[in-house]
Amino acid sequence: MNVRVGSTRRSFLTVTGAAAAMALTGSLPEVEPAKAGATGPVDRRDPYTLGIASGDPLPDAVVIWTRLAPEPLAPFGGMDRRPVEVQWQVAEDEQFRRIVSQGTTLARPESSHSVHVDVRGLRPWRHYWYRFRVNGKLSPVGRTRTAPPPNAVVPEMSLAFASCQAWWEGWYTAYADMAKRDHDVVFFLGDYIYEFGIDRGIRPHSNEPYITQQTVTLDEYRVRYASYKMDPDLQAAHAAAPWVVTLDDHEVVDNWADEAHPSAPPAQFLVRRANAFRAYWEHMPLRFAQLPNGPDMQLYRRIRYGRLAEFSVLDTRQYRSDQAYGDGTKAPGPETKDPARTITGDAQEKWLLDGWSASQSRWNVLAHQTAIARLDTKDGPEVLVPMDTWDGYEASRDRVLGGAVQRNVRNLVSIAGDLHRSVASDLKLDFTNPDSPTVGSEFVGTSISSGIDGMDLDPGGLTLLKENPHIKFGNFQRGYVSCNITPQRWISDYRVVDKVSVPNGTVSTRAKLLVEDGRPGIQSV
């Protein structure tokens, strides 16, 4: 049962005190010139152990990020609790001979010495290089790219998307491959970290407390992000292209829904959510517009690439109704069909449909967490579907897919993750009827590492293909998806890793799948 927002938020405010104030406050100073004397004694340690990143490209702007953490697994990353002056530069060349923007900001202890610089005044659809300097130490150099002008005719773009990177379950070989390929932007669609504790894992140091214990407090979430971001392949993928990120459940706790989770009463859960959101923002290349206000964070937003593609980045966690029938995999019924239940919330759904009404893009893309397509997981006439995907929110699915048809949305494509398997599907107005019109195409990417090695097709994957005629491709290996988009076609290249249980696995293309302009549905290349 859903918890009423108003009463829960009032209860939340009564349980927050001085100890939680830093985690829960929504206020952080914007980028500003550093004051004299802010840096104090010179620190000779390497402050860039967590790498650098960029994100959320606009035609004239991009966010550049780092976090100072000379001892990344220590409280506050081993930094003193004082602000530190950070210089930044953006250039048109990798050697920084043509610097186009530079400045100074403060890395502050209340944001765990993270730095988010919203660099403005850049030229559209151009590569730039960026770096930071602290106490005379230069950071690694990152490459980014701005978006095209809003009305530009863009002949081609490339993107990658990924999700689900349980650190202890395997090496990030997929990211090493992604970093070597030329992508204009990377979408990360949820489960950047995993919050629960484990007994042991594949990688060395998987038995350390910072991995084995569950994350609840702000410090615990910060250390969990640091343990992931120390990975060199993940750092390389961040440094190679701008990222657009959204979160799913494990950035907070498994299968949370709005203000409800069985691990705690709503008021206590909101404290945990505030801790998780704060740590998430501190470690992602996000703007101050996404800075959490306690347990609330504005994550849904649009990224446009001229008239070629418009990406609606969704948040299907923060506003959803509680899972139907107590969660799990169940038969659909009155609860899943209840029009009062929602996976997006009313405001986000309206924002999405209104945006589609105004769209002039060739490709209209949902970048979000989990599968829209129906996933019957039971062999035989009985139907069992996961309550945590859009299957548990059929009325939401009907309103979104039906709304796309009503608005004559051109070339609807869904990219998603969460399933730890690759699933490519035709999107139907009625998934119970194979003859129902196909109104869009969906590419669900597998996990980067979650699930360990996997195989080409497991029994669950075979069942999905047998029971769901709209599913056109399935695979149960680890990897990511690389996409090439032109006005005429969209090609998704499913890149899979033979083994993530050992370093330096082999990455190959398992399938190339095509969607043609004006012809919804998936074809093999």
- The predicted pLDDT at position 17 comes to 36
Phi then psi dihedrals of residue 268, to 5 deg: -70, -40
Pick the CATH number of 31-144 from 3.30.479.30, 2.60.40.3500, 3.90.15.10, 2.60.40.380: 2.60.40.380
Q: Distance of CA 386 to CAs 320, 394, 419, Å? A: 15, 12, 10
Task: Identify the pLDDT of residue 200.
Answer: 81
Amino acid (1-letter code) at residue 86: V
d(CA 180, CA 393): 39
Assess contact for 440 and 427: CB atoms under 8 A: yes
pLDDT of 135: 93
Q: Can you give the pLDDT at residue 15?
A: 40
**Do the Cβ atoms of 268 and 13 come closer than 8 Å?**
no
Q: Which of 192, 409, 386, 414 is nearest to 311 (CA)?
A: 414
Torsion angles phi and psi, residue 283, rounded to 5? -110, 5
Residue pointed to by tokens 């490459």 = 143
**What per-residue confidence (pLDDT) applies to 34?**
37
3-state secondary structure 180-235: HCCCCEEEECCCCCCCCCCCCCCCCCCCCHHHHCCCCCHHHHHHHHHHHHCCHHHH
d(CA 213, CA 208): 9
What is the tens place of the pLDDT at every residue in 451-496? 999 999 999 999 999 999 999 999 999 999 999 999 999 999 999 9
Residue burial 73-101, b: 16+ Cβ < 10 Å; e: rest: beeebbbeeebbbbbbbbbeeeebeeeeb
Closest CA to 366 of 187, 142, 163: 187
Q: Sign of the C-alpha dihedral, residues 22, 25, 26, 32?
A: negative
Do the Cβ atoms of 413 and 425 come closer than 8 Å? Answer: no
pLDDT in tens, the chain (525 residues): 333 333 344 344 334 333 344 444 444 444 343 343 344 566 778 999 999 999 999 999 999 999 999 999 998 999 999 999 999 999 999 999 999 999 999 999 999 999 999 999 999 999 999 999 999 999 999 999 999 999 999 999 999 999 999 999 999 999 999 999 999 999 999 999 999 988 889 999 888 888 889 999 999 999 999 999 999 999 999 999 999 999 999 999 999 999 989 999 999 999 999 999 999 999 999 999 999 999 999 999 999 999 999 999 999 999 999 999 999 999 999 999 999 999 999 999 999 999 999 999 999 999 999 999 999 999 999 999 999 999 999 999 999 999 999 999 999 999 999 999 999 999 999 999 989 999 999 999 999 999 999 999 999 999 999 999 999 999 999 999 999 999 999 999 999 999 999 999 999 999 999 999 999 999 998
Compute the distance between CA of residue 125 and CA of residue 139 in angstroms, rounded to an integer. 24
Do 147-524 and 31-144 have the same topology in CATH? no
Work out the number of other CB atoms within 10 angstroms of the CB of residue 421. 24
Helices (H), 291-391: 334-337, 346-358
CA dist 510 and 495 (Å) reads 6
Domain ranges of the chain: 31-144, 147-524
- Give the CA angle between residues 482, 64, 32 to the nearest 5°: 165
Element (H, E) at 429: none
Give pLDDT tens digits for 41-59. Answer: 667 789 999 999 999 999 9
Q: Give me the pLDDT at residue 25, please.
A: 46
Q: How confident is the model at residue 117, as a pLDDT?
A: 98
Question: What class has domain 147-524?
Answer: alpha beta
